[in-house]
Structure 1
Amino acid sequence: MNNKINPRFARPRLLIIGCGDVGIRLLPLVRTRFRVFALTSQPGRAGELRAAGAIPVVADLDRPHTLRRLRALAPYVVHLAPPQPEGDFDFRTRNVTAILPDGARVVYVSTSGVYGDCGGALVDETRKLAPRNARARRRVDAERVLRAWARRAHGRLAILRAPGIYAAERLPLKRLEQRTPALAPEDDVYTNHIHADDLAHIAALALFRALPGRVYHASDDTRMKMGEYFDAVADAFGLPRAPRLAREQLVAEVSPMLLSFMSESRQLANARMKRELGIRLRWGRVEQALAAMQMK
């Protein structure tokens, strides 16, 4: 009788919830250590996820009954799914907590928008939350729901507050081509960035190195205003720089959502992330990544 255990089944289970771009980048970092399940609401993505090394699970966070078979599936979870697009509460994350096993290790990727406008100040993870729009309030709600689950179920939760995620496929090229205006320098706001590859790496490390209940800024070292970022992208790809307008002029030119991003200014400190997770960013500054993209 063969009593050997198949190593494939001996590995612990990891569930990636919301396995989009960042989740696909995460898979190569975790698939040798875990038996990875990837949740998707799109059946057509099953082949892509399987080819990337995951076991696809088709279910919908907006339809709780489709999640029942996932209950207690995996003791490790990376939650990448955004909230539903409306309201002040994140019902998707409430549905996620219903399937988490007691004692699970959960990494949740949130957003730096939970701080609201900080007037350009350098902020760390102890900053008081002050969301200014429903999109950010949903994220604050998700964090609170997960913290309550962790207390109740003795879970080990890490929250990664990520700023603007970029990669070669996630640049504002269309916006530049459409000549969408940016703020004049005197009205401009500080923005923060993280490369999608680095965010995936941070999430992988947080599964093991994050302290229980800890918040980390998943942000790079760039200190750049939004218009400067658009200029850097335009210069790297040979596009005209965006026209600059005063804030009162811009109100009539851009969508309310875009205007909301242009109304919040903050700089994220990332010392805790580096110190406690031991991360070495591949792309410490946006300029480095753009230069590498030019060479391809």
Structure 2
Amino acid sequence: MKLFAFGLGYCALDFIARFGDLFESIAGTARNADKAAALASDRIETFVFGPEREDPGLAEKALAADVLLISIPPGVSVDPVLARFGHRIANLRAPQIIIYLSTIGVYGDSKGEWVDETRLPAPLSPRSVTRLQAEKSWAAIGRGPDKTVHILRLAGIYGPGRNALVNLKEGAAHRYVKKDQVFNRVHVEDISRAIAAAIAHVGPGGVWNVSDDAPTPPQDVVAFAAKLMGVEPPPEEDIDTAEGVSPMTRSFYAENKRVSNRKLKEELRVDLAYPNYRAGLEALWEAGEGR
């Protein structure tokens, strides 16, 4: 198989590191020439794809791939991959598996109740509205005779270099509190496992929630990380009165839901490496994160 990744970011690079041996060739995009050069290797052929530049040969390489991994977020009103290549991908008469990395944000707010893939999306934030529009467009491409499209709705991502241990070490951790608030999260390794399972799935495409087993109040995650490090956690702050909270952070607290991963485990047969934040943070601490 040949893999083309639109967006060689955190998730795509982790997937390639863990499952790159599945592919005879790997190529992907970066936003600028410096990043493309830094990511290029004997294993990965890189192309620039951004608002101001598209490298020659990019389209040919992408259209020749057996698997497309789409992790570039949409802009204000449009998915850049769909805008530039959607029509050609849809009309290409060659089998392709397309993995689109979306977000559980498309569900909006369920007031803390459990949601699964049967729930009608009701996004609240503009970025989630645009995500849902992109999902629908990719799903439409998947209704063609040659394309299998899997939409992976990702919970909050953590892993090496991106976790509460690192935030505490850098003095960037906060314990914002809102009554009954929970967040959903997933380790990047389990995202990679979900991508690999979707590629191997025999059957039609689908929508899959990718989250761990334990929706948790965010302040508890920081407190556990502090306990591992042997330091005092930052004080709890009411999200409604705390100063210096970014608009994006406030938007996260406007949504409260518990996301079910049952379909991921039962139908894609994904065995989570880190079923809860405790297991994930303990492994990261043992690997030297936050030290």
Task: Find 2:6's aligned residue among 2, 17, 21.
Answer: 17
Task: Find 1:132's aligned residue among 124, 133, 150.
Answer: 124
TM-score, normalised with respect to structure 1: 0.85
1:4 maps to which residue? none
Offset, 1:99: 4.4
TM-score, normalised with respect to structure 2: 0.86
For the pair 1:192 / 2:174, whether they are aligned, the reply is no
Q: Distance in 2 between matches of 1:133 and 1:294?
A: 34
2:26 maps to which residue? 36
SS in 2 for 1:106: strand
Change (3 A) 1:217 1:179: closer
**8 Å CA contact retained: 2:103, 2:152:** yes
Matching residue's letter, 1:174: N
Q: CA RMSD in A?
A: 2.5
Offset, 1:213: 3.3
Offset, 1:174: 3.5
Q: Which one is further off, 49-58 or 116-125?
A: 49-58
- 5+ residue gaps in structure 1? 1-11
SS in 2 for 1:165: strand
CA deviation vs aligned residue, 1:183-202 (integer Å, no higher than 9, x gap): 14xx2411111111111121
2:64 maps to which residue? 73
SS in 1 for 2:99: strand
- 5+ residue gaps in structure 2? none
1:229 maps to which residue? 221
2:41 maps to which residue? 51
SS in 2 for 1:223: coil
Offset, 1:94: 2.9
Q: Distance in 2 between matches of 1:79 and 1:138?
A: 15
Matching residue's letter, 1:74: A
Task: Find 2:171's aligned residue among 143, 165, 177.
Answer: 177
Change (3 A) 1:182 1:97: same
1:7 maps to which residue? none
Q: Distance in 2 between matches of 1:276 and 1:112?
A: 18
% identical equivalent positions? 25
**8 Å CA contact retained: 1:18, 1:80:** yes
**8 Å CA contact retained: 1:30, 1:204:** no
Q: Distance in 2 between matches of 1:281 and 1:52?
A: 30
How many pairs were matched up?
A: 280
